[in-house]
Amino acid sequence: MSSPAAEVVRLLVVNGETLAVAESLTGGLVAAEITAAPGASKAFRGSVTAYATELKHELLGVDAALLARHGAVNPQVAAQMAAGVRKALGSDWGIATTGVAGPEKQDGQPVGTVFVAVDGPAGHDSGSAGGGKVEALRLNGDRAEIRMESVRSVLALLLKELASEHSGNERAQDTEQNGGF
């Protein structure tokens, strides 16, 4: 069984698509996981680790009023980070992580509050920030465990989106192979 990152890279390469990553609490772990997969250079465009809140606005185009109002640990911020890195790095897909790994709460959010987001080509070509899918997580564990589970979760969300985007052809083939059932 290949790793989730290797499966992400495989699907991106097969479909001729690219990926960019925006990270906060994971501090580059998502990019490291993806680039550890063989063939990553064929699909991975790059990443932005915007750990400081103002960099989320300056580098990724996250709405400054949203950041001022809600802080960086917010589902809309995650969505805008994913859309922003996708646009900034010119990729088909953008994924993002933002949250609180601990040891203390941040922006009024408890440790373990994490938002992961995916922004992709299916229905999101309008260029509007904040499109895509966001998943809210409540994670337990220490700082390292929360960060690693955030990596796993954002890759799982991307895999789900990649599979659903390209499942039409695969489903038709499966149906034919299984006698229409």
- Specify the length of the chain in residues: 181
Q: Name the percent of the chain lying above pLDDT 70.
A: 86
pTM here is: 0.88
Q: Give the amino acid at 126.
A: S
What DSSP string describes 8-61? HHHHHHHHT--EEEEESTTTTHHHHHHHTSTTGGGTEEEEEE--SHHHHHHHH-
Region 75-89 average pLDDT? 97
What are 116-128's pLDDT values in tens digits?
Answer: 999 998 654 444 4
Region 170-176 average pLDDT? 40
Q: Which helix (H) or strand (E) holds 91?
A: none
Q: Which domain holds residue 159?
A: 4-177
What CATH number is given to the structural domain containing 144? 3.90.950.20
Number of domains in the chain: 1
SS3 for 169? helix
